[in-house]
Chains A and B, each alone.
Chain A
Amino acid sequence: MQMSGAQMVCEAIIAEGVKTVFGYPGGAIMHVYDEIYKQNGFKHILNRHEQASVHAADGYARATGEVGVAMVTSGPGFTNAVTGLATAYMDSIPLVVISGQVPMSLIGTDGFQEIDAVGISRPCTKHNFLVRSLEELPRILKEAFYLARSGRPGPILVDIPKDITVDIGEFVYPDSVNIATYKPTYKGNQKQIEKAVEAIKTAKKPLLYIGGGVVLSNASEEVRALAEKTQIPVVETLMARGVMGAKNPLLLGMLGMHGNYASNMAMSETDLVISLGARFDDRVTGKLSEFAKYADIIHVDIDAANIGKLVDVDYPIVGDVTEVLEVMIPLLDGVNTDRYQAWREILKRYDALHPQSYVDSDEVIKPQWAIERIGELVGENAIITSDVGQHQMWAAQHYPFDRPRQWINSGGLGTMGFGFPAALGAKMAFPEKTVINITGDGSILMNMQELVTAAEYKIPVINLILNNQFLGMVRQWQTFFYEKRYSETDLTFQPNWKALAEACGGIGYDVTTKKEFDEAIKDAIAQDRVCFMNVMVNRFEDVLPMVPSGGALFNMMLPPKIENKETK
């Protein structure tokens, strides 16, 4: 069929089954927007900043497992989108971002709003394309979606010069992709899997170490089955919260810099790490030479480059976690679960010694209490997004996540401003679910213009601002490591949050007591409008336990009350 390049873009989006596109128009992408106006195969949400468009597409992708799509114009539209690309890249999130570019004839002339988009985005995309002719556009669009979701997923940029969106040509959307140089490995090596199984059977203190790859691979069922069958204890990374479900007795908790005592001790004492879709991030391992010092390591990852990158691996298995576990689990028939009984006992005692805890208060709301309380009030039915800082860590520690894709946060890049637009994306995908962005008084301002977007399109997400009047996480480091010199972290100068939300068409709540908290959250859930829930919390609360940066995992700073209990 004959059509313009702009129409081809729309047709490809429809063919890929994308229901919502997030974006912002401008000169170079106007022809595509003209076609968006004429079609009704997908909905377009006009965010009020391109960064938010990419985060929203990202939130949509994380909540659904489908490819998210964002659209921006050339020059500043594209550069605004870069943080979004980098955020998705670091967490391996499947996105297709379409950017307008100046016409082919102007490329290289420093034309108005010309910027080298493929050059800038090269290190923060899985792959990118500058479309050079209309003929290659259908193939590139097809490959972009395929690359985004296959293998180790990631964001793909398609940069399209304006004249190509105007040109008219034949459109046949390919139904398959064949890239000679790109063949991801899904099936694990049988021999290696068998060896790993032997190692599991002969270990005394094995530990399942679960990362975000399990979420990406939709392998949660398999991981739960593996744990159930072997009765091996489990630790989750920040990105894997929800995989096991908070109620699962085999789940020790989250490990790493703000991991709980039992999880970090388990990693320090295990004799066999079974790493599934995790990548040994420095926030997880602490001091590498002390990390899992007594353990052999099984590492299952779809990305061969992750294996052996930071730690030496004894049983490398390149493949998709789901496929590898489908082979591995039956091989574990008859595994002697009693073997690990003594190990489970030790870990139970560690957990009893220093459980994940905090000291509650009647005078002031503790941020941890607020998170536990939402867990009690909405629990399973909510999708929780978050920004970056103390509130993020408390959410990861204290929310009773029950399933994968319930917890959406920027783990790899740590992007403040991610939570609100990501919540919009998640809510667009699951309108029936309560979507709450657990955020801070610093982070929320980094994409607060989305109040207008949310109000316009009636996307009722709840922004729960844990307001400590600080860039709290930085303040915490200043307290511990910079002799309390609070350089540029005091946020006592604040907007009127309620008025701010209302000015943009949302609802505001000011909360200082537990009673007000309950009332506000119940009211907010019942409303069909976006809100800011400004919750004043204890200013100087610290996130604990904490492994100081570069320290060994077993050297944790623990909550004070619990430390007093220590008998040693």
Chain B
Amino acid sequence: MANPLNERRVISVIVLNESSVLARVTSLFAGRGYNIESLTVAPIPNSSMSHITIATNGSPKVMEQITKQLHKLIPVYKVIEHEEMVEKEMVLVKFPIAENLSDIAALCGAYNGGIVNVGKEMVIAQVADEPLRVQHFIEAAQRYNPCEIVRGGVVAIER
């Protein structure tokens, strides 16, 4: 929906580490018509909880509903609507080995990354940066004929 009020937001959802919890969260988004731009999930070390990071968008009213509805799910412990955060996303890109590798390495370097694997026909580069900068990196990488791009989805932590 191209609503001018729609704002991109990142939400952290701390949940009990049980089998169906991710399904509960995603089906809530699907069922109530909320968008998911990206979603990452991993267990929180030394605890029985997991951390889900969701990048989404919606009007302030929708965002309020998203947070409240998430909070209503029984295994949800905490919902954090990030305001002041450090936000990072990772991307892996596969380039043909015939491309100019030093240019690629320099490009990755400019975005906090580098070449992490070299094979017979391909090299794999990795970049971890803010989502917008990851986007820029992907655009810049186009001229080196990337054959596969895998984005990781954002993780965020409140400052």
Contact = CB atoms under 8 A, between A and B. Distances in A.
Given A118-B20, A119-B23, A122-B23, A305 B75 contact: no
A305 B65 contact: yes
A303 B68 CA distance: 9
A308 B69 contact: no
A181 B76 contact: yes
Contacts of A122: 20, 23-24, 27
A88 to B, nearest CB: 16
B24 A180 contact: no
A305 B75 CA distance: 16
Contacts of B15: 181
Contacts of A130: 19-20
Interface in A151-208: 179-182
Interface string B45-75: 0000000000000000100110011011011
B85 to A, nearest CB: 23
Nearest to B65: A309
A305 B31 contact: no
A127 B77 CA distance: 15
Interface residues of B, number: 19
B68 A305 contact: yes
Interface in A88-123: 118-119, 122-123
A147 interface: yes
Interface string B67-100: 0110110111100000000000000000000000
Nearest to B24: A122
A179 B74 contact: yes
B64 A308 contact: yes
A305 B72 contact: yes
A504 interface: no
Contacts of A181: 15-16, 74-77
Interface in B1-47: 15-16, 19-20, 23-24, 27, 31
Interface string A128-150: 00101000000000000001000
Given A180-B16, A304-B68, A123 B27 contact: yes
Contact of B69 (A119, A132, A179, A305): A305
Nearest to A151: B72
Contact of A303 (B31, B61, B72, B76): B72
Contact of B74 (A147, A304, A308): A147
B71 to A, nearest CB: 7
Nearest to A143: B74
Using C-beta atoms within 8 Å of the partner chain, give the interface range for chain A: 10 to 19
A137 to B, nearest CB: 15
Q: Output the residue of A122, A132, A308 with the most chain B CB within 10 A.
A: A122
B contact patch SS: helix
A308 to B, nearest CB: 6
A197 to B, nearest CB: 25
B79 to A, nearest CB: 11
Contacts of B72: 303-305
A130 B20 CA distance: 9
A60 B87 CA distance: 51
Nearest to B74: A127
B38 to A, nearest CB: 22
B49 to A, nearest CB: 9
Contacts of B61: 308
Contacts of A180: 16, 77
A309 B62 CA distance: 9
A122 B75 CA distance: 13
B71 A304 contact: yes
Contacts of B27: 122-123
Contacts of B75: 181
B96 to A, nearest CB: 40
A228 to B, nearest CB: 34
Nearest to A304: B68
Contacts of B19: 130, 132
Contacts of B69: 305
Interface in A275-309: 303-305, 308-309
A402 B76 CA distance: 40
Contacts of A123: 27, 31
A459 B30 CA distance: 43
Contacts of B68: 304-305, 309
A309 B59 CA distance: 12
A143 to B, nearest CB: 9
Nearest to A307: B68
B6 to A, nearest CB: 18
A308 B65 CA distance: 8
A380 B74 CA distance: 39
Nearest to A118: B20
Nearest to B75: A181
B80 to A, nearest CB: 14
A309 B69 CA distance: 10
A309 B64 CA distance: 8
B67 to A, nearest CB: 9
Nearest to A147: B74
Interface of A: 118-119, 122-123, 126-127, 130, 132, 147, 179-182, 303-305, 308-309
Interface of B: 15-16, 19-20, 23-24, 27, 31, 61, 64-65, 68-69, 71-72, 74-77
15 contacts: A122-B20, A122-B27, A127-B74, A130-B20, A180-B16, A180-B77, A181-B15, A181-B77, A303-B72, A304-B71, A304-B72, A305-B65, A305-B68, A305-B72, A308-B64
Given A122-B20, A123-B27, 15 more contacts: A119-B23, A122-B27, A130-B19, A130-B20, A132-B19, A147-B74, A181-B74, A181-B75, A181-B77, A182-B74, A304-B68, A305-B65, A305-B68, A308-B64, A309-B68
6 nearest interchain CB pairs? A305-B68, A181-B77, A127-B74, A123-B31, A182-B74, A304-B68
